[in-house]
Structure 1
Amino acid sequence: MIQLIVSDMDGTLLNNKMAISEANQQAIKEAEQQGIKFMVATGRGYTEAVPALKEVGIHCPMITVNGGQIIDEAGNLVENVGIDKNRIRYILDAAREKGLYAEVVMADGVYSDNKVKRVETMTSLLHTTNPDTTFKMALVLALGRLELLNINYINDYEEILTDDRLALKVLVFSNSGQPELQPLRENLDKDKELVVTSSFFNNLEINHVNAQKGIALERVAKKMGIPLENVMAIGDNFNDVSMLEKAGVSFAMGNAEDGVKKVAKYVTATNTHDGVAQAIYRSIHEKL
């Protein structure tokens, strides 16, 4: 019996407009009415993730920053898993050397040193993942969503890499996709204290090796007293694999990477066709 549903956000719970569809909202409500708990597990930081949930009245526990933070339903921090500052500096320097744009997720939010690159990256992502959307419309959507994401813009990352602050993750972007990012990934993969995943075709997400969705999910389920076999997880990309492996019931989105579909037990519809809702209904109405 499913007692906990855990969903990724981007490419999963969120549609091509970066919003939660009415069908997904209703499915979550029906599950909760049956006593099933719902939570999200996202690569986003809390301040990036919570606006889309609040827009539709969803208040739930969260695994954020790929497992770098656990947040309770009231928005209180339960746990942090960070990266030491020297590693952060090394990652940023390595990205700069390759001409790549990077962002840093701190315990208090997401930081960028280049607003133009931030907008350009979001626009390119929306345009590429939504072929029917013109570049101009993608730009409008990007600017609209960025207003909700509470990004902090600074001149130099050294402003935040101080001893009294905790760094959780580095994001590195390439509008050309993974081939341009691969050399950096291979470099960082050599460091056993880091784990490198991706949530979109255009990024790398670098966390501490203990900051993974599956590890965080295991801790959350234990605190809730819920066996992992009674957990359902839904995701679309490689930063979701660790939780799909842990959950007793796992769904890959129809738009998921092929490698992710191979890990999941089931495949649902795409994020633009309410795949989360379909997976939830299957899990609560069928014997999986």
Structure 2
Amino acid sequence: MKKDEPPLEFPDTLEGFEYSFNEKGQLRHAKTGEPFVFNYREDLHRWNQKRYEALGEIITKHVYGLLEKECHLKKVTLPVDATENEPKSFIFMSEDALTNPDKLLVLIHGNGVVRAGQWARRLIINEDLDSGTQIPYIKKAIEEGYGVIVLNPNENYIEVEKTKAQVQLSSDSSDEPAEKRERKDKIQKETKKRCDFYEKYRNPQKEKETMQMYIRDNGSPEEHAIYVWDHFISQSAAENVFFVAHSYGGLAFVELMIQREAEVKNKVTAVALTDSVHNVWHQEAGKTIRE
């Protein structure tokens, strides 16, 4: 029999988790000095996973802070003409990103939970900041005279909690015949009864129902790459633009080439595809792009 699940409520700071990054950029426990432990509560995988995700959100904000404080990048809101109330995203840019006449470096990470400035959250937590973030790339680029733009292709929507009316509407909106719906309702009631019985022993918590509100013109990594190209990269003064595209970022770059072939060929000098998942056949890239 499983233990009762503790509340899914976690600290919102690294200090609250009793962790911090040491001088080597390694995440360590403030009291024991030990690395992060995933199985903090034995036999409670869901709770441990939620704790890990909560820590990951804090680390994302920590990396954003490092991009601004250590790398001296500025946060730029997207869409550029966003109204006060609509969902927004952002990218990071060096002060000279659009004015540097010589060279510009553009970084695109892969898919999943990573956000601007990260290559892999797992590496940040289990190894160190240099392994899991783009910060070494950014610092080296600035040192060598590049302007820098850091994309944020996974920030595609915001989540808002559904109202009671919206939850009720989604459950009542079925077009199924009445007989089939009644049969399904009966099964659901029986299932709920069994769940309620087991809940006395396990007590899993029900999570809030949310809905996704997509960010205009940035609703996917591909859309985001094209949007940043149109509004920033294509307008930069740099004679030479360089990309580092990791994992799904490689697919987003190929899609950018398909959609803006002439512009990209004219402006981009070189691309480093690191463990890229692009496929020029699946993405229907033309002969000139494949070459």
Q: Answer yes or no: same fold by TM over 0.5.
A: no
So what's the TM-score if we normalise by structure 2?
0.31
Q: Which has the higher helix share?
A: 1
